[in-house]
Structure 1
Amino acid sequence: MKKARERLEACLAKAGEPKGEGQRVFIRLLSESAREAADAADQRTKRGISLGPLDGTIVSIKDLFDMAGEPTTAGAKVLKNAPAAIVDSGAAARLRAGGAVLIGKTNLSEFAFHAMGTNPHFGTPGNAHDRTRVPGGSSSGAAISLTDGMAEIALGSDTAGSIRVPAALNGLVGFKPTQKRVSLKGAFPLSFTLDSAGPLARTVADAHAADSVLSGEPHHALHAQAVNGLRLLLPKGGFTLEGLEPHVASAFEGALARLAGAGAHIIEKPLPIFDAMVAVQARAGFSPIEALYIHRERIDKEREHMDPVVASRIERGRGVTAIEYLGMIRERAALVQEIDEVLAPYDALVMPTSPIVAPLIADVLASLEAFMPKTLALIRNPIIANFFDLCSVSLPAPTDGLPVGIMFTARHGHDKRLLAIAAGIEAVLAT
Structure 2
Amino acid sequence: MTQATELLLGDAAGMAAAVRAGQISATALVQASLDRIAATDGSVNAFTALVQERALTRAWMLDHAGASQKAKPLFGVPFAVKNLFDVEGMPTLAGSKIERASPPAGQDALLVRRLEDAGAVLVGALNMDEYAYGFTTENSHEGPVHNPHDLARIAGGSSGGSAAAVAAGQVPLTLGSDTNGSIRVPASLCGIFGLKPTFGRLPRTRTYPFVSSLDHLGPFARSTRDLALAYDAMQGHDAGDPGCARREAQPVSALLDAGTTGLRIGILGGWFQDRAGPEARAAVARVAEALGARETVELPLVEAGRAAAFLITNAEGAALHLDDLRQRAADFEPLSRDRFLAGALLPAAWIARAQRVRQQYAEAAARVFERFDILLAPSTPCPATTIGQEFFDIGGQPLQVRPNMGLLTQPISCIGLPVCSVPVWGAHERLPIGVQLIAAPWREDLALRVSAFLEEAGTVYAPVAPL
Name the TM-score, length of structure 2 as normaliser. 0.84
Q: Which residue of 1 aligns with 2:340?
A: 314
2:279 match: secondary structure: helix
Q: Which runs of 5+ in 2 are unaligned?
A: 1-17, 19-23, 237-248, 392-396, 462-467
Quickly say closer, same or farther: Cα 1:152–1:272, change in 2 above 3 A: same
Report SS of the residue matched to 1:11.
helix
Q: How does 1:48-197 map to 2 (within 5 A)?
A: 48-50=68-70, 52-197=72-217
- Partner secondary structure for residue 138 of structure 2: coil
8 Å contact from structure 2 (residues 198, 416) kept in 1: yes
Question: Cα distance, 1:193 vs. partner?
Answer: 1.2
Please show how residues 360-371 of structure 1 align to structure 2 within 5 Å: 360-364=386-390
Find 2:30's aligned residue among 1, 4, 8.
Answer: 8
8 Å contact kept, 1:231–1:266: no
Match of 1:395 in 2: 422
Residue of structure 1 in register with 2:298 after alignment = 270
Q: How far is 1:285 from its partner?
A: 2.1
Rounded to whole Å, the distance in 2 between the matches of 1:108 and 1:286 is 21
Contact 1:154 1:201 in 2 (8 A): yes
| Higher mean C-alpha displacement, 108-117 vs 336-345 | 336-345
Q: Percent of aligned pairs with the same residue?
A: 28
Matched residue of 2:445: which SS?
A: helix
TM-fit CA distance, 1:371: 11
Q: Within 2, Cα distance between the matches of 1:170 and 1:268?
A: 27
Q: CA deviation at 1:145?
A: 1.2
Equivalent residues of 2:27, 2:60 under 8 A apart: yes
Deviation at 1:18, TM superposition (A): 6.9
Which residue, 403, 412, 434 being the options, matches 1:405? 434
Deviations 1:35-74 (A, max 9, x none): 1111222223x63534632232111011001112111000
CA distance in 1, matches of 2:164, 2:49: 15
Instruction: Choose the corresponding residue for 1:303, options 326, 329, 348.
Output: 329
Secondary structure class of the residue paired with 1:223: helix
CA contact (8 A) 1:15 1:21 kept: no
Q: Kindly state the Cα deviation for residue 228 of structure 1 after the two structures are TM-superposed.
A: 4.4
Distance 1:82 1:279 in 2: 34
Q: Structure 1 residues 9 and 372 mapped into 2: Cα distance closer, same or farther (>3 Å)?
A: farther
Q: CA deviation at 1:117?
A: 1.3
Which residue type is aligned with residue 405 of structure 1?
G
Residue identity matched to 2:344: R
Give the secondary structure class of the aligned counterpart of 2:273. coil
Residue pair 1:64, 1:188 contacting (<8 A) in 2 also: yes
Task: Tell me whether 1:373 sits opposite 2:393 in the alignment.
Answer: no
Q: Distance in 1 between matches of 2:344 and 2:175?
A: 31
Q: CA deviation at 1:229?
A: 4.4
Secondary structure of 2:425 counterpart: coil
One-letter amino acid of the structure 2 residue matched with residue 389 of structure 1: G
What's the counterpart of residue 27 of structure 1?
48
Displacement, 1:372?
A: 7.3
- The aligned residue for residue 445 of structure 2 is 416
Residue 221 (structure 1) shift: 2.3
Structure 1 position 377, deviation (Å): 2.5
1:227-263 CA deviation, whole Å, 9 max, x = no partner?
Answer: 34432222232x2112433333333323322332xxx
Query: How many Å separate the matches in 1 of 2:40 and 2:378?
Result: 36
Tell me how large the CA RMSD over aligned residues is: 2.3
| Counterpart selection for 1:353 from 350, 359, 379 | 379
Describe the SS at the equivalent of 2:400. helix
Amino acid at match of 1:54: L
Alignment pair present for 1:40 and 2:69: no
Aligned to 1:252: 284
CA distance, structure 2, for counterparts of residue 55 and residue 299 of structure 1: 44
What is the aligned partner in structure 1 of residue 365 from structure 2? 339
Cα distance in 2 for partners of 1:129, 1:53 equals 29
Q: State the secondary structure of the residue aligned to 2:146.
A: coil
Distance 1:68 1:96 in 2: 13
Alignment partners' CA distance in 2, 1:175 and 1:306: 29
TM-score (structure 1 length as normaliser): 0.91
Structure 2 contact 93–100 (Cα < 8 Å) conserved: yes
Which sits farther off after the overlay, 10-19 or 380-389?
10-19
Q: Which amino acid aligns with 1:34?
A: A
Cα distance in structure 2, aligned partners of 1:236 and 1:190:
30
The number of equivalent residue pairs is: 419
TM-aligned CA deviation for residue 327 of structure 1: 3.1
> Structure 1 residue 383 and structure 2 residue 416: aligned?
no
**Does residue 200 in structure 1 map to residue 220 in structure 2?**
yes
Q: Unmatched 5+ residue regions in structure 1?
A: none
Asked whether the 8 Å contact 2:299–2:364 carries over to 1, the reply is: no
Question: Which secondary structure does the structure 2 equivalent of 1:80 belong to?
Answer: helix
Is the contact between residue 78 and residue 123 of structure 2 (CA under 8 Å) also seen in structure 1? yes
Question: Letter of the aligned partner of 2:30 in structure 1?
Answer: L
Question: Which whole-Å CA distance do the structure 1 matches of 2:365 and 2:32 have between them?
Answer: 45
More displaced, 327-336 or 1-10? Answer: 327-336
Shift of 1:19: 6.9
Tell me whether 165-174 or 398-407 shows the greater mean CA deviation. Answer: 398-407
How far apart, CA to CA, are the structure 2 residues paired with 1:226 and 1:97?
30
In 2, the alpha carbon distance for the partners of 1:421 and 1:246 equals: 23
